Structure 1
Amino acid sequence: MSAPTTTTTELRDDFRPAFHYAAQDTWLNDPNGLIFHDGLYHLYYQNNPLNSVWGNMSWGHATSTDLLNWTEHPVAIRFDEHEDIFSGSIVFDRHNTSGFGTAEQPPLVALYTSAYKLASALHGTQAQSLAYSLDGGYSWRKHAQNPVLTRNTPNFRDPKVFWYQGQNESYWVMVTVEALEYRVLLHKSADLLNWTELSSFGPANATGGIWECPDLFAMPVDGDPENLKWVLTVNLNPGGPNNGSAGQYFVGDFDGTTFVSHSTVTEGMGDGTREHDYQWLDWGRDYYAAVSFSDAPDDRRLMIGWMNNWDYANQIPTAPWRSPMSLARELTLRTVDGQPRLIQQVAFGSGAEPEPVSTFTLPAREIPEGTEVLDGAAGTVQRIEFSLAPDSAGEAGVVVRGNGTEGTRIGIDAQRGMLFVDRRESGATDFHESFASLDVAPLRSLDGSYELVIHVDRCSVEVFAQAGLLTMTQLVFPSAASRELSLFAAGGTATINNLTVTTYA
């Protein structure tokens, strides 16, 4: 990855988020090893324990009881002279199939990619390795016979492992990628140590960048446990819908051997002409490497992504830390236009809704052409919920974190049928030439209206549109004094059907 550059933007710690996890004083990227175990959500992640830019890849570690408040722990699995510790996953080996624990004390097993260095006989290759923990995930021992799965190739990585419960046979399944081939590989094992290849999937849909960080899981459609579909997610860099890092998903069937997609677009595949027909996890520039938790309570499918973009990841103006995670999201499958689509909502643990400092509501009324500051609705950390009808306006929406000269515009382009996030005047943008952007996503109205929920934190906005059918995640770096919330309409008038602002800071 590129080295940091000097800009005129001052590095600041007041961008530290209130509700998004960020390391105390180091770099982080991909979430790894997400698991709920012994009453705690464990978030491991790619971490440089020595600096606030990418390098020395290790697994950092944080825990939470509620997905809202996180406690950082010492580095879990550290790089050494032979390998960097790239992305992977953790499973609870409750039946001790690996033999690393006992029946009374089964282990947690981490499966990660060894990125071998010059000091290793395997240098230049990537392979899958194991580490195990007998104390609930706080200390880890590498398996003496690593790696457990290799193809002797340089870009074979990112194992996500789960237990497949078949009608006639049950076993562990590992989902990996050959990143430059745009292929997802499936292997099986009885003991997490010996692996047999099952099948592969891809190339398919977006192939504008390398494939990374896959995931595969079953979900009921419309809440019906008798109608299960499998969802395969795969992240790619670059090649996202707004020229950034991104994640896409496929819905289909998995029989224990082969995943068959029912949502692959064949015409124009990979040439960039059909990106609006692909299914994206997020349409923003700053949601990448998203993977889901193992063993989440009540069989919830919870996912976290890295909230940054490889174009400018090393340069964002935060200190002494760099890069936050997204809020946790709960995923469900809902039938939309006859097809199952992922729905995403912000997820906190039971009873974990943060305590607000104020609430502002606005009844239905017209939004005149221009920009109107809402007195009593200012804040830096907020949840903004509203329904809007564009009426005669060409564009309408809200400006968050504004001060009269800067702000992030979030709204609807009615003529084009688009949601947009405009951060060109959002605050600090000069740290990288590609950061200032106007990003869009196709969005249809519901009976002429658009429902948006916007989660604003000190350096980000996460937009959930039409009850979570579409999301956009963007970093922003406003001045500390930019606290205003405004309504705007351009080219005519619009109607705000309702608006509620919950302010936390």
Structure 2
Amino acid sequence: MIEMLNPFLCRPVIAGLISVALVSTFISESTAEEWLFPNSGFEAGTLDGWTAEGDAFTLQPTRGDNPNARGRESSFHEGDFWIGTYERHDGKSGKPGAVRGDVAVGTLTSPVFTITKPWISFKVGGGYHPGQCGVGLLVDGELIELSSGVDSESMVSVSSDVTEHVGKPARIVIYDNVTGGWGHINADHFTATDQAVIDERSKFAFVDGISAEAYPGTAYDQQRRPQFHFTSKQNWLNDPNGMIFDGEKYHLFFQHNPKGTNWGNMTWGHATSPDMLRWTQVEHALLPYSIDGRPGTIYSGTAVVDHNNSLGKQVGDTKTLVAFYTFATKPKFYQAMAYSNDLGDTWTYWNEGRAVVENQGFDHGERDPKVFWHAPSNQWVMVLWVQQNPGRVRFFTSKNLTDWEFASDLLRDWAFECMDVVFLPVDGDKDNVKCLIYDASFDYEIGEFDGEKFVSETGPLVTGGGNFYAAQTFYNQPQHRAIQMGWMRGGPNAADVYDVPFNQQMSFPSELKIRSTPDGLRVACSPIREIDSLVKDTYEVGEVELVEGANLLSNVDPLDLVDMTIEFEPGTAKQVVFDLPSVRVTYDSETASATYGGREKDGNRVKHELMPDLKSRDGMVRLRFLVDRMTLEAYRLDGADFRAVYTLPNPVSESQSIHSVGGTANIKSLTIRRLGSIWE
């Protein structure tokens, strides 16, 4: 058995190659290194002793750091010469940095040598194409794959345990059978060693230039800063991650770029709150890093409270927090884990950030692990999006949070990233609990989950919309409520348009429920009741006819932050128009829908659909609006639909009003609550 010292090389080989188990680590120093055979490091400047077939290895070996000469990463070769089938410079022809591309294919086979030491060590880079582009060992008539590349020109040191073959004759085979992207192999410095070879670049290291500091000098007093929606003090945010209650406070982790107001450098930003509303941003939690020569960033995931010390890392009485995230690296993403023994202040990367669940082979970007404790089956469950077109969601189970076993696949065309799973009582009946599963776009199904497999009873359906995306629920919520927050994606770059130091925001926290309807079980969503703590004063109107030309808000002082509910009969009015801070919402009686005034990324104003299906129920339309400095959230009062959208950077008009157009509407009730700031 050949045992590899690198986890990202742990892949089955193609037909015709012997399948081997590959395991990985690096140790501190190499010892007693010797060449496998003459010219095994290509320092003759020729292929003397090697046999080439095909045309991939013409103009080889290449000389010098050619990738670096053309502005790419360094090859990290040894000596002067090395194999690089993409390169065109051999020291005699071509020039430094010249390339021949990925079109050539072929093999390069070494002379016979005797395996004399327990390890064969070498350097490898180029494309990640297991079984098609890499390095193998021909021994006992079998070709054993040792390594493919890592989708990088930089070569990393790899050591293979060949103890069981000591004393046997063997050959090294370098092969390049790929003509597409990254269809080339880099290799160098084949030696026999007593121990595995060090590669300092393969050790765990944080990416340079990204600090955990969370902008201590930045305030929340900008004119256009949202006042009851979470924003980062500075820079970009997107998906909410790892939302959790630790027994004392709530945590919101979030996708974050610490270096700018556009997407990039994905890091887990971090904020805490006593009530899911008033947030204090603290140091970033999980930072981009490199391990085994593979740099990567921290994509979305979830966090759990390890209530029964499954991981075995608990210190004292403080429960361990465990975060699961996608390590976004080349050639393929995988799922990794970190844990905290101090309620989220500091984090330890399990196994130095290596995979706790390897890429499943369906999509190089499979991502966003959702982990939860399933009490009826007494185990942890992970839900992972692994494939699009067709959509595939994979369930895993574990007893200890580190060893995950495949349980089942859910094949759904609608499923795409950021899966969440919630268990909710139907109509509040704790004896009738159903499983809700949904994706980033809030496509959902309701059914049963037995710890391994989901069985659908309702759906697929969809709710939510506008700029609402990638919502997750708080884990360990103390009242056992399902409370979610989503990313409000899109809109203009706030830093460019609004003169603020950040870009993007979260939706207001909302509570999910499952209700019985004439059409079957449905999800209902409404703002959390904790919003009451933000109310400064209230304006109410009872039943009144809204005739054309009248303004229901004529006696109301100027509004800013608003929570408004209204029930009305459209009557003879063609439209009911709401001129609210920075946004005009228009209800159209003929289409039974609502539109709002928005702005495109180029700054042009445009009318957008807000809610497409607002047919009256019992003759009544019931709506709720949350209006913040740059956003609007709209809910049907039965919770059956909601939208979160970006609005104009400037007021639509100098006045505020609620008025009818083309007839009279009947207002049954109106309540406007002025809200305070979560930053005060």
- Interval containing the TM-score (normalised by the shorter chain): 0.7 to 0.9
Pairs within 5 Å for 1:106-117: 106-116=319-329
Question: Are 1:68 and 1:348, in contact at CA under 8 Å, matched by a contact in 2?
Answer: no
Other structure's SS at 2:663 match? coil
CA distance in 2, matches of 1:484, 1:40: 41
- Separation in 2 of the partners of 1:302 and 1:379? 28
Contact 1:377 1:501 in 2 (8 A): no
Q: Which amino acid aligns with 2:540?
A: T
**How many pairs are equivalent?**
446
> Residues of 2 paired with 1:223 and 1:487: CA distance?
36
Partner of 2:545: 366
SS state of the match for residue 418, structure 2? strand
Deviation at 1:395, TM superposition (A): 2.3
CA distance in 1, matches of 2:473, 2:606: 28
User: Could you list the per-position Cα deviations for residues 402-438 of structure 1 after superposition, in whole angstroms to 9, with x for gaps in the alignment?
Assistant: 5xxxx42143x332232x13124xxx54536797523
1:261 to 452, 456, 460: 456
Match of 1:9 in 2: none
1:165 aligns with 375
Distance apart, 1:389 and its partner CA: 0.6
Of 327, 343, 346, the match for 1:136:
343
Identity across aligned pairs (percent)?
Answer: 30
User: Against the structure 1 CA distance between its residues 253 and 139, is the aligned structure 2 distance closer, same or farther, given a 3 Å change threshold?
Assistant: same
Q: Distance in 2 between matches of 1:20 and 1:125?
A: 35
Residue type of the partner of 1:366? Answer: E
TM-score by length of structure 1 reads 0.83
2:643 aligned residue (451, 457, 472):
472
Asked if the contact 2:336/2:356 (under 8 Å) is kept, the reply is: yes
Indicate if the aligned counterparts of 1:390 and 1:396 stay in contact, CA closer than 8 A.
yes
1:33-432 maps to which residues of 2 (within 5 A)? 33-81=242-290, 82-102=295-315, 104-116=317-329, 123-144=330-351, 146-150=354-358, 151-152=360-361, 153-166=363-376, 169-181=377-389, 182-204=391-413, 206=414, 211-235=416-440, 246-264=441-459, 278-280=461-463, 282-283=464-465, 285-309=466-490, 317-318=497-498, 319-349=500-530, 353-356=533-536, 358-369=537-548, 372=551, 374-401=554-581, 407-411=583-587, 413-418=588-593, 420-424=594-598, 429=600, 431=602
The residue type equivalent to 2:332 in the other structure is T
Alpha-carbon RMSD: 2.4
8 Å CA contact 1:401, 1:483 repeated in 2: no
Greater mean deviation of Cα atoms: 98-107 or 16-25: 98-107
SS at match of 1:380: coil
Which structure is higher in RCO with an 8 Å CA cutoff and minimum separation 6?
1
Cα separation, partners in 2 of 1:155 and 1:258, compared to 1, 3 Å: same
Q: Say which is worse superposed, 140-149 or 478-487, in terms of deviation.
A: 478-487
Q: Distance in 2 between matches of 1:430 and 1:254?
A: 42
What amino acid does structure 2 have at the position aligned with 1:27? W
Q: Are residues 352 and 368 of structure 1, via their aligned partners in 2, closer, same or farther at CA, if it must alter by over 3 Å?
A: closer
- Alignment deviations for residues 26-64 of structure 1 (CA, whole Å, 9 cap, x no partner): 111000000011321100000011111110000000011
User: What SS is found at the alignment partner of 1:454?
Assistant: strand
1:144 is paired with a residue whose SS is helix
1:161 Cα shift? 0.5
**Kept in 2: contact 1:360–1:377 (CA 8 A):** no
DSSP-derived class of the 1:437 partner:
strand
Alignment of 1:5-20 (within 5 A): 13-20=222-229
* Pair 483,65 (structure 1): closer, same or farther in 2 beyond 3 Å: farther
Distance 1:305 1:73, change over 3 A: same
Superimposed CA distance per residue, residues 425-463 of structure 1 (whole angstroms, 9 cap, x where no aligned partner): xxx545367975233321332210111111111111111
Q: Give the Cα–Cα distance (whole angstroms) in 1 for the partners of residues 431 and 568 of structure 2.
A: 37
Aligned partners of 2:383, 2:485: CA distance in 1, in Å? 18
Counterparts of 1:56 and 1:371, CA distance in 2? 52
Task: Tell me, yes or no, if the aligned pair for 1:393 and 1:489 is still in contact at 8 Å.
Answer: yes
C-alpha separation in 1, matches of 2:268 and 2:632: 26
8 Å contact from structure 1 (residues 54, 314) kept in 2: no
Amino acid at match of 1:346: P
CA separation of 1:31 and 1:15: change in aligned 2, threshold 3 A: same
**Could you say if the C-alpha distance between residues 421 and 315 of structure 1 is closer, same or farther in structure 2, counting changes exceeding 3 Å?**
farther
* Contact preservation (8 Å) 2:367, 2:386: yes
The letter for the 2-side match of 1:154 is: H
Give the stretch that moved more between structures: 370-379 or 32-41. Answer: 370-379
Alpha-carbon distance in 1 for matches of 2:505, 2:384: 25
Cα deviation 1:361-414 (Å, max 9, x = unaligned): 222222223573533152110111111110112322422125xxxx42143x33
Question: Structure 1 pair 51/300, CA: closer, same or farther in 2 (3 Å)?
Answer: same
The TM-score with structure 2 as length reference comes to 0.62
Deviation at 1:352, TM superposition (A): 6.0
Tell me the secondary structure at the aligned position of residue 299 of structure 1.
Answer: coil
Counterpart secondary structure, 2:241: strand
The verdict on how the C-alpha distance between 1:179 and 1:353 changes in structure 2, with shifts beyond 3 A counting, is: farther
- Residue in structure 2 matched with residue 6 of structure 1 by the alignment: none
Amino acid at match of 1:135: D
Tell me, yes or no, if structure 1 residue 501 matches structure 2 residue 677. no
Q: Distance in 2 between matches of 1:64 and 1:483?
A: 36
User: Are the aligned partners of 1:186 and 1:199 in contact in 2 as well (CA < 8 Å)?
Assistant: yes
SS, match of residue 366 in structure 1: strand
Does the CA contact (< 8 Å) of 2:246 and 2:321 recur in 1?
Answer: no
Unaligned runs of 5+ in 2: 1-220
Task: Return the alpha-carbon distance in structure 2 between the equivalents of residues 325 and 344 of structure 1.
Answer: 16
Rg larger in structure: 2
> How far does the alpha carbon of each residue in 1:175-210 deviate from its partner, in whole angstroms, 9 at most, with x for none?
110252422211111111111111122324x47xxx
- Tell me if structure 1 keeps the 8 A contact 2:535–2:673: no
**C-alpha separation in 2, matches of 1:110 and 1:365:** 53
The equivalent of 2:86 in structure 1 is: none
Q: Which amino acid aligns with 1:321?
A: F
Deviation (angstroms), 1:338: 4.5
Equivalent pair of 2:436/2:447 in contact (CA under 8 Å): yes
Which ranges in structure 1 are unaligned for 5 or more consecutive residues? 1-11, 117-122, 236-245, 266-277
Deviations 1:331-386 (A, max 9, x none): 1111111411111121154x961141x42222222222357353315211011111
Q: Which amino acid aligns with 1:414?
A: S
What amino acid is the match of 2:449? F
